[in-house]
Amino acid sequence: MKAAGKPKKSLSLDDRLKTVVTKLKRLSSKSTRDGMVRYGLPSDNALGVPIGAIQKVAKDIGRDHELAEALWTTGIYEARLLASFVDEPEKVTVAQMDRWCRDFDNWGVVDTVCFKLFDQTPHAWKKVV
């Protein structure tokens, strides 16, 4: 793993996922997780990583549709936010959008996914209704 935490595309998906989740865990803090409550965010599946740190990890990773799907399936709050930053909008399907929407459980994930990914997909206007 590089110092910036960017998983090499030559690694398997499982190894890339482990690299990124490990990076998120290193960036987490109990005080950040505990502070989520004041914003109405559930912390039971959260690590406690500030959004700025998540955005930096996303920038280091770049776009990776396969990794985004794997991050989403972890159920980890920060991994789901990260998934919305690294997914490739042109590869997002209607089925994926529907699947992810069924998992929405808080406003933070909804806002981030909708304003950082879904609105960039070719399906955005059809799904608004």
Count of domains observed in the chain: 1
Which has more pLDDT, 100 or 129? 100
**Containing domain of residue 83, as a range?**
13-124
Q: What is the DSSP string of the chain?
A: --TT-PPPTTS-HHHHHHHHHHHHHHH--HHHHHHGGGGT---TT-----HHHHHHHHHHH---HHHHHHHHHT--HHHHHHHHHHS-GGG--HHHHHHHHHH--SHHHHHHHHHHTGGGSTTHHHHH-
Please report whether residue 6 resides in a domain.
Answer: no
Residues 32-73: tens digit of each pLDDT: 999 999 999 988 899 999 999 999 999 999 999 999 999 999
pLDDT of residue 2: 43
With bands split at pLDDT 50, 70 and 90, how would you rate the model's confidence at 4? very low
pLDDT of residue 10: 82
Please report whether residue 7 resides in a domain.
Answer: no
Res 3 pLDDT > 80: no
Please report whether residue 117 resides in a domain.
Answer: yes
Residues 84-115: tens digit of each pLDDT: 999 999 999 999 999 999 999 999 999 999 99
Please report whether residue 35 resides in a domain.
Answer: yes
Instruction: Say what the pTM is.
Output: 0.91
Please report whether residue 81 resides in a domain.
Answer: yes
Which has more pLDDT, 34 or 4? 34
